[in-house]
Amino acid sequence: MASDKVITLTKDNYSEVVEKSDIPVLVDFWAQWCGPCRIVAPVIDELAEDYDGKIKVAKLNVDDEAEIAAQFRIMSIPTVLIFKDGQIAERLIGARSKREYAQVIDKHL
């Protein structure tokens, strides 16, 4: 079940959500056709619930927002970027376990 705490990123809200955030932001770069992305999706939703208020969790569809994906040189998906103060603090490429994502998030809180 998708979490209502996950923000859908677009070029229209990107700056507001990511660059102006006063808390870390996890961005999941994904696409509809990507099998591993579908595996990671429920994990991202759980993280959004678990870390509600501590981090923002957002998803960016690389097909819909190719410009932003290109800006961050997203070559393979899923890629999860953790932003802190608008800058990339961490880049995780490929599907990971919830525990691995949580360890990286905890490092940046």
Domain boundaries, the chain: 6-107
Q: Which of 34, 41, 48, 60 is catalytic?
A: 34
Say whether domain 6-107 belongs to CATH 3.40.30.10: yes
Encode pLDDT of 64-90 as tens digits.
Answer: 999 999 999 999 999 999 999 999 999
Among all chains, which residue has been given the structure tokens 């859908």? Answer: 8
Active site residue 71: no
Among 25, 37, 47, 48, the one annotated catalytic: 37
109 residues of the chain, pLDDT tens digit each: 567 999 999 999 999 999 999 999 999 999 999 999 999 999 999 999 999 999 999 999 999 999 999 999 999 999 999 999 999 999 999 999 999 999 999 999 9
38 a catalytic residue: no
